Each structure stands twice: as C-alpha cells, then as structure tokens.
Amino acid sequence: MLPKKPFIHTFITRDKKYVYDVNTNTILNISDDVFDYLSTGINEEKEISNDLRVKIEKMVDQGFLSEKRIKEIEHPYNEMLPFYLKNRLNTVTLQVTQRCNLRCSYCAYSGKYEERVHSDLDMSFETAKKSIDFVIDNSSEAQVISIGFYGGEPLLMFDLIKECVEYAKENADGREIYYHMTTNGTLLRGEILEYLVENDFKLLISIDGPQEIHDKNRVFAANGKGTFKVIMDNIRDMHKKYPEYVKNKISFNAVLDGTTDFSCTKQFFADYDEIKDLNVNTSFISDKYAKVNFDVYEKYKIQYSYEKFKVLLNKIGRLESNLTSDLFDSQFIRLKQNLYERDFSSSINDKEHPGGPCVPGVKKLFVNVDGDFFPCERVSEISEPMIIGNIDDGFYLDKIRAILNIGKLSEDLCKNCWAFRFCTMCASAADAIGELSRETKIKGCPSVKFNAEKDLEELCVLKEFGCTFDTDLGFVDL
Amino acid sequence: MIKKKAFIYPYDSESTHFFRFNEMNKMYDVVGGVSPNGWGLRGKDVGSADAGHALNIKVKDKIEDTDEFDTLFLVDSKIELDFEKYIFPKLKQVVKTKKEIVNMRELTDEQIKQIIDLCKANNVGFKNILEKHYNLHEIKIIYDITVPVVFVAGISDRTNKFDIQLSLRKEFENMGYKVSQIGTKNHCELFGFHSFPSFMFENGTSNIEKIKKFNSFVKGIEVIEKPHVIIIGIPRSLAPMCKELPDDFGCTGFMVSRAVKPDAAIVSMMYNNYKADYFEEIQNLCKYRFDFEVDCFNIANNQIDYQDSKFFLNKLYTVIDSDYIDEKIKHYKATKPIYNVQNKEDRIKMASYLIDVLAGEEFIEDVL
C-alpha cells in the first residue's frame, strides 16, 4: 500500500533530484518519476504506472516514506532537567560591568535594540563570588569549570576580575578552571595583559576589518575617534612579548557591516600580519531585538556570496585554498557537523523537539551585575521571561522549562515541519520582551526552512562534485 | 578485631560504596571523606555524591581539619586530579600527623616511589593494595566450574555494578551461603574477595591466554575456597556506546564469557525511557554474543548525555536521585524483573530472586 502523506521534503540541485526522508533523516537521490510523484502531492485517485508503484513500494519496504509524525513536542532533556541543573553546570559568564569605553554603533546596548542601555553599574565581588560558588556546587559531573567575563568592557573591572580568579583558584581547587573574556582590546597591555597571560585567559577580541571599516562603527566613547590603531598596537605588542600565548589563546570576532566592502574585510583578515594566522568568527549585525533596520547592500551580498562560492570550489578541488577566505571555515564545519555527520534513525520518536534550544544554565549561564541569571549574553536583559534565576534564589525551574520547550508555542506547526531537526530558533526568537510569543516565533519559520533547504542543496552539490568531508582525518597513504 | 579508622581522599561517587557497605570492610571503618573544593561536594552529605540516600556524614574539604582517622585511603576518582599539584601535598600533610596511607589509585611507578619515600621519611605505614601476585595453575584445558556462578555486568559503565556486587555478597552471606567473588574494583580485597585480575588487561598477553588464565583463576578459587556460589563482576561495558566512544567493544565481557559460563546473570543499565523491546534486545545481545541468559536487570541512577558525549568525545553523565528511579521502574515493561540496587528492599529481592534462579526446580535436589 502506498503512503498517503509521507513525512518528506523534496528538493533539487542543478543536476539531480532528492527527497529528504524525515523519519530516517536520510537524503535520497531519486529518479525523475519518483521525484515528480513525491513532490506534487500524492493523489490517491491518480493512476500511476506499475513500474513507479514498484519503486515506491520498494522504498517503503526499506523503511522510507513513513507517514509517522511527531505526536508531542517535548525537549529530550525536559525530563531530566532538574538533575541536569543539579550536577551538570560547568560554565558561568559574569557581566562584571555595564560600563564601556567604546560606543559601537551596532552595540546591543546602544539604544537601537529592545535591551538595556549603557550604564555605570558594576558587579560587586559578593555577587561574583556567589555566582562562582553556585556553579561549583552544581557541577559534580563536570570535568572542568569555565569562567567568562563580559561587559560592557570587562577590563574596566580588572581588579574585580583578579579577585574572581583568585577566589576561583582557592575555592574550585581540584578542578581545571579555564578563563575566557570578550574584550574590545583597547586595554590589553601592561599589567592587565601580563595577568591575563599568566592565567591563560582565552580572549575573543573584536576587530571588524581594516581601519576604515573597523573605525566606521567602533569608536571611543570619550571622543568618538576610531579604536583600530590602539587595538592593533596592543596586538602587535602581544605578538612580540607572548607569541605562543597569542597563537593558542587569541581569536577575533568580526561583525560584518553590510554597508561596507566585504572584499576589503576578507583581504584584511587574509593579509594582515598580526591576524591572518589566527581564528576569526564572523557574524552580521544582529537583527534580534533590533528596533531599527540594518542595511545590507546588494553589492555586499554579491561579494559575500562570491567568496563563499570560491570556498565551495576549493572543497571540490577546483580552486587552491590560498585563493579562498578562512572566514567561511566555521560555516563549512557547521555543514559537516550538522548535516554530513548527522545520525540516521529508523523513525522519529513520539516526542521530539525542534533543534534550536540548548539547556539554559547548563550550556551557558550568564549572570548580570545584579546577580540575575540568563541563558546567555545574547538575550535581552530587560525581558522578564529570560530571567531564569538569581544568585539568591537559584534556578527558576518553570521558566527554564518554558525556554527549553519553546517549540510548545508552535507545537501544531513544529509537529509537521520537515526541517524540525535543522531548526535554529531558540527562545530568543520567540521573545516579545514581556512574554514568549507564538506570533513572534513563527515569523522566523520561513527563514529556517529556507536555510535548511539551502544547506541540504549545498551538501548534495558538494557530494555531486566529489567533495569528501573526511579529508581532515589525516590519512595519507595505505 | 579493632578496625582502623579511615578517611577517603579524593572523595566522589566512585567511593560512595565504602560508606554504603562499610560493615563489609574487613579491615577498616570508613568514617569520612575529603573532596577538593571544586568538586561540588563540600559540606554536603557523602551520600549526595551518588544521589543515593543520606549517610549523615559531611564531606570535608580540608584534611587538616580533622584528627578522627588513622589511615588515609588514596582512591581513584572520576575527575582527574594532578598528583604533584594536589595529591602529594595532601599526603605530606597527612603523614605529618602520623596517619598511614593505603593506596588504591592508579599511579605511576615514580609516584608510588615518591609516596613510599615520604612515608619512610615520616615513619608511617604505606600499603599499595594494587600490588597483586597470581599463582595460577598450569593452563591445559578450559575447566568446568562446578559451583553456581553469577555474572554482574553492565551495558555501559556507571551502572552501579559494584554496588550490586557488594549487595549480592552481603545478602547471600546473610542467607548462609559461602560466597567467593571477583569484583570490578581494584580494592576488593578490603571487602574479603578478589579484584578483577590485572592480567586480563595486560598488553602483551593474547586474548586466548587471557581467557585460559581467567578460567584457571576462577577454577582455583572454586578448588581452594570451596564456596557455595561465585559472583563475577565484569568490568567495562558489554556494548560500545557509539562509534565515537566504543569503550572496549565488549571485549572484556566476551573473554569472561568464554572462560566461564554463568548460571545466573544480572545486567545493569543506565536510566532511560526504555520500551519493552529494548530489554528484549539486551537479552538477545547477551544470549547471542556472550552466550548467557539475562535473569534480571538493574537500572542505575545515571544517564548518559548521548549528544554532548558524542560532541565532546568524552562521556558526560547526569546523576539522578535514586527515588526517581524507584518510581520509573514501576512503569517499565519487561519479561524479567527490574531492580534498583540503591533501594534496600530491592537488594533483598534481587538476591532472593537470583538464589531462586540458581536453585532451579525444587524437585531436582542436585545435579552431579
């Protein structure tokens, strides 16, 4: 018997036709007639050839084209959530200050977002201490503890950072502790730098590109002048004094402004001596919580797409890697991990949840100056649903559950969504500041499905052209 | 015999059995544990380490705060602890107060020597429990073991296997049986039985030799100790978790099952929402791969975080309150009994059930 409503999604590349089978999480390259049958909606009354019938039946026999849908949206970690929170914590990021010596135009705290704005509030040592204690007391299953420092600009609170490090060393002894920090890089010198090096801090430094691009948006609060020169002088100095530390512990974050020249940005990160051999993460100016539109010029999109295309040519052996940009490395890794290395299954479970949410508090725990807990530093601090606890009360389990099971808001849609495994929407996508909103959330669905289909196409095209995703395994010769 | 008082260092859930089965320790009375501050146990009840019932002893974070013991057990732990940075300085503090050291931790020869020298210099005793010598009968054939054998195995690690082994020993002995045993920890001698022999993990020995030696080892126990029953704990896991974390692919279990055929077996599993067919699959696995029937199951109060473990290439677990397991067991459907060894009533039921399995049909009094 032929399935009436198989849980599938069909798509094409230039040369071939595919069906993504949701239950088995497999991608099948299929013949034209099978594709036409599956993609145009199965019509029971329409006659099909015996040959086609046999093909479909064979697919069914092999476990494909199941009609099974998700029965209930529930996150797989929902049941064990209280226990996760009791013994799986391993990281905390402390907002040591809301002050910043810069006024970046796209900053989350610039007033252009549904978010707090710059202020002169600092975290007290008491709050920091309680936060560190909280993580230690609930981390019996963690091998290491990671303590991060965030702002504003965290290095404005260097003394507090030192106190936290010394406190952690004494009170988290027996555990490996890693420290990390996101910094604008303007204060990275002298005693501060020496301390960070001594304590093996992992640093993420913000650099947006060459001077004219970086200074367009990242300026000093005091005088509005660009910060590029100061930062690069500091980095140059770091290279001289601590070359091994720089090699192992420094990476950069570049916010891509769609009104600038992407080619210049790309070239900068490829050529600039102090940066070219180090890791760079990129992201576009965030539109999450944004009150204004941030333009992306057509020219920028074309340049960006062209550079990405060159990377794909490299992956199929048609272009030398020295002609491509490293800025897309993380995207290829994501494609490999999320799609190429995905797990197969015989069937979806009765209870499933779209792929977006992490476990709040366990994956990340962000503590603001007041000691309130948030799932990460990217959610709005003025959003009440996002406050998942505080240093005195501990976790608010119900609120964490609501964030974890964000798919419940759009359960009827998610249960029937072919792209549920590839969904990237977490609770922040549903955050309407005062509440978690279904309407806000489902606005993101078309984009998720579009990107998921693009990823499937990209994977298939790469495979069609002979890309092997396992070239980094180190096999040389047999 | 007056038992010496012992403290455990570094204490975590790997050592909770010392407290839960303290009365079975032949030589020591374990009265406390010291945990590094950063392990999340400071000030908590020692029973919280394995999320079992409270034991009314608080975990200490400073060994120098107490004088309540004569001996320090240096034990293995699930979190790595640097020897030079943490362990040796702690031992220096301990020997200054004339406490002896009993080592059960896997250390290098150099580290052992450091401790021996330290103890000598301070005139305190040192015992290395891990040093064992085997005097095996010449291996010609595989011998039949003519006393009942009970296997205790785990589908994965962290399945409370050692608790099951101690519990069965205790309950069988309470019923009047003489029990010989091979256990999965390296310090079983403290509880009056044999640790799993180290020759089974030697790199230079072939698997064939290991199987023969193990058979000879068990036969020797049968002949010399003349027990009513032998309990054998099988270390490691019967099956790989995933291709990224295969453990030893069940090789140890396979070798043991070639060396000895059990008359009863309990298989322990981590917690999950298992359906009836999963228990059937495990029974089939044991039957067709290891050639033994599963008589009952135990559900441990640990759950593997499959996704994160695969991603980080490191097994990550969540510990679950034992009471929760009691509730969940009621809802499982399987053709064999399912127990929770952390539940005291289940311990008795598990032992009684296995004795019934071993006893066989009532009308057959003996098989010769």
- Complex-level ipTM: 0.90
Across the range B131-143, mean pLDDT stands at: 77
- Kindly state whether A80 is in contact with chain B, defined as any CB-CB distance less than 8 angstroms: yes
Quick check: B274 pLDDT over 80? yes
For residue A337, CA distances in Å to A332, A333, A334, A424, B269 come to 9, 6, 5, 14, 29
Reported as type and span, the H/E element at residue A97 is none
The pLDDT tens digits along chain A (478 residues) read: 788 899 999 999 999 999 999 999 999 999 999 999 999 876 666 788 999 999 999 999 999 999 999 999 999 999 999 999 999 999 999 999 999 999 999 999 999 999 999 999 999 999 999 999 999 999 999 989 999 999 999 999 999 999 999 999 999 989 999 999 999 999 999 999 999 999 999 999 999 999 999 999 999 999 999 999 999 999 999 999 999 999 999 999 999 999 999 999 999 999 999 999 999 999 999 988 999 999 899 999 999 999 999 999 999 999 998 899 989 888 888 899 889 989 899 999 999 999 988 999 999 999 999 999 999 999 999 999 999 999 999 999 999 999 999 999 999 999 999 999 999 999 999 999 889 999 999 999 999 999 999 999 999 999 999 998 876 666 666 6
Taking contacts as CB-CB distances below 8 angstroms, the residues of chain A near B40 are 87, 136-140, 142
Taking contacts as CB-CB distances below 8 angstroms, the residues of chain A near B321 are 83
- Residue B304 neighbours by CB distance under 10 Å: 21
- Kindly state whether A331 is in contact with chain B, defined as any CB-CB distance less than 8 angstroms: no
| A172 to B37: CB separation less than 8 angstroms, yes or no | yes
Taking contacts as CB-CB distances below 8 angstroms, the residues of chain B near A79 are 273
Of B194, B160, B197, B196, residue with least CA distance to B179: B194
Kindly report the pTM of this predicted structure.
Answer: 0.92
| B40 to A79: CB separation less than 8 angstroms, yes or no | no
| A140 to B41: CB separation less than 8 angstroms, yes or no | yes
**B35 vs chain A: nearest CA distance in angstroms?**
8
- Kindly state whether B273 is in contact with chain A, defined as any CB-CB distance less than 8 angstroms: yes
Contact B225, B61 (CB under 8 A): no
Weakest mean pLDDT among A149-153, B79-83, B333-337, B364-368: B364-368
Residue A141: which of B35, B80, B317 has the nearest Cβ? B317
| A174 to B10: CB separation less than 8 angstroms, yes or no | yes
A-chain residue closest to B42, CA distance = A137
| A174 to B303: CB separation less than 8 angstroms, yes or no | no
Contact B236, B157 (CB under 8 A): yes
Interface of A with B in 151-180 (CB under 8 A): 170-177
- Kindly state whether A139 is in contact with chain B, defined as any CB-CB distance less than 8 angstroms: yes
Alpha carbon distance A299, A278 (integer Å):
27
Q: The dihedral of CA A344, A349, A353, A359: what is its sign?
A: negative
Highest mean pLDDT among B126-130, B279-283, B314-318: B279-283
Of A163, A158, A180, A179, residue with least CA distance to A99: A158
| B316 to A172: CB separation less than 8 angstroms, yes or no | no
Identify the residue among A72, A74, A81, A83 best suited for mutation to test binding to B, counting B beta carbons within 10 A and taking the highest. A83
- Kindly state whether B314 is in contact with chain A, defined as any CB-CB distance less than 8 angstroms: yes
**Residue B61: per-residue pLDDT:** 86
| A140 to B12: CB separation less than 8 angstroms, yes or no | yes
Q: Cα–Cα–Cα angle for A123, A128, A132, nearest 5°?
A: 160
- Kindly state whether A137 is in contact with chain B, defined as any CB-CB distance less than 8 angstroms: yes
**Residue B347: per-residue pLDDT:** 97
Number of H-type helices and E-type strands within chain B: 10, 14
Burial A103-142 (b: 16+ CB within 10 A, else e): bbebbbbeebbebbebeeebbeeebbbebbbbbbbbbbbb
Within 13 Å, how many C-alpha atoms sit on residue B285's CB side? 18
Phi/psi for B52 (5° steps) reads: -95, -160
Q: Which two tokens stand for residue A350?
A: 């009765």
| B36 to A140: CB separation less than 8 angstroms, yes or no | no
DSSP class of B335: S
Q: Which two tokens stand for residue A140?
A: 């019996």
A-chain residue closest to B40, CA distance = A137
A-chain residue closest to B319, CA distance = A83
DSSP class of A340: I
Helix pair angle (A158-171, A125-137), 10° resolution: 30
| A172 to B314: CB separation less than 8 angstroms, yes or no | no
Taking contacts as CB-CB distances below 8 angstroms, the residues of chain B near A176 are 80
Alpha carbon distance B69, A126 (integer Å):
36
Of B7, B83, B78, B65, residue with least CA distance to B39: B78
Contact A69, A416 (CB under 8 A): yes
Residue A87: which of B36, B273, B318 has the nearest Cβ? B318
| A141 to B316: CB separation less than 8 angstroms, yes or no | yes
Q: Residue B40 region, left (φ>0) first, then alpha (ψ -120 to 50), else beta? A: left
Q: Residue B65 — pLDDT band, cuts 50, 70, 90?
A: confident
Taking contacts as CB-CB distances below 8 angstroms, the residues of chain B near A88 are 305, 316, 318
- A–B interface: beta-carbon pairs under 8 A: 67
**B367 vs chain A: nearest CA distance in angstroms?**
46
Chain segment B206-262, per-residue pLDDT in tens:
999 999 999 999 999 999 999 999 999 999 999 998 888 999 999 999 999 999 999
- Kindly state whether B19 is in contact with chain A, defined as any CB-CB distance less than 8 angstroms: no
Alpha carbon distance A38, A30 (integer Å):
10
| A172 to B273: CB separation less than 8 angstroms, yes or no | no
Alpha carbon distance A28, A234 (integer Å):
52
Taking contacts as CB-CB distances below 8 angstroms, the residues of chain A near B324 are 83
Alpha carbon distance B90, B64 (integer Å):
9
Across the range B69-97, mean pLDDT stands at: 94
- Kindly state whether B13 is in contact with chain A, defined as any CB-CB distance less than 8 angstroms: yes
Identify the residue among B11, B16, B35, B37 best suited for mutation to test binding to A, counting A beta carbons within 10 A and taking the highest. B37
| A87 to B319: CB separation less than 8 angstroms, yes or no | yes
Taking contacts as CB-CB distances below 8 angstroms, the residues of chain A near B51 are 83, 87
User: Tell me, what amino acid is at A297?
Assistant: Y
Residue A139: which of B40, B49, B80 has the nearest Cβ? B40
- Kindly state whether A83 is in contact with chain B, defined as any CB-CB distance less than 8 angstroms: yes
- Kindly state whether A90 is in contact with chain B, defined as any CB-CB distance less than 8 angstroms: no
| B37 to A84: CB separation less than 8 angstroms, yes or no | no
Reduced to 3 states (helix: H, G, I; strand: E, B; else coil), residue A395 is: strand
R_g of chain B, CA atoms, integer Å: 21
- Kindly state whether A473 is in contact with chain B, defined as any CB-CB distance less than 8 angstroms: no
- Kindly state whether A138 is in contact with chain B, defined as any CB-CB distance less than 8 angstroms: yes
Residue B318: which of A88, A136, A172 has the nearest Cβ? A88
Alpha carbon distance A109, A98 (integer Å):
9
Taking contacts as CB-CB distances below 8 angstroms, the residues of chain B near A87 are 40, 51, 318-319
Residue B38: which of A83, A87, A171 has the nearest Cβ? A171
Taking contacts as CB-CB distances below 8 angstroms, the residues of chain A near B319 are 83, 86-87, 140-141
Reduced to 3 states (helix: H, G, I; strand: E, B; else coil), residue A271 is: helix
Interface of B with A in 318-357 (CB under 8 A): 318-321, 324
**Residue B42: per-residue pLDDT:** 87
Contact A192, A137 (CB under 8 A): no
